[in-house]
Homo-oligomer: A and B are copies of this chain.
Amino acid sequence: MAVTSSTITVDMRGDCHVENITSKVQKQLQDSGLQGGILTVFIKHTTAAVMIIEDEPGIRADTKALMERLMPANPNLQHNTLNAGEDNGHSHLRGQLQGPSVTIPFNEGVMTLGTWQQIVIVDYDTRPRTREIVIQILGE
Contact = CB atoms under 8 A, between A and B. Distances in A.
B40 A103 contact: yes
B97 A42 contact: no
Q: DSSP majority for the A interface?
A: mixed
A134 interface: yes
A20 to B, nearest CB: 14
5 nearest CB pairs, A to B: A44-B114, A105-B136, A58-B79, A58-B78, A1-B1
A77 interface: yes
Given A52-B100, A56-B83, A2 B140 contact: yes
A63 interface: yes
A93 interface: yes
A113 interface: yes
Copies in the complex: 3
10 contacts: A1-B138, A1-B140, A44-B115, A44-B117, A46-B116, A52-B99, A52-B100, A58-B82, A63-B93, A103-B103
Contacts of A132: 114
A96 B56 CA distance: 13
A58 B77 contact: yes
Which one of A65, A115, A132, A134 has the highest number of Cβ atoms from chain B below 10 Å of its Cβ?
A134
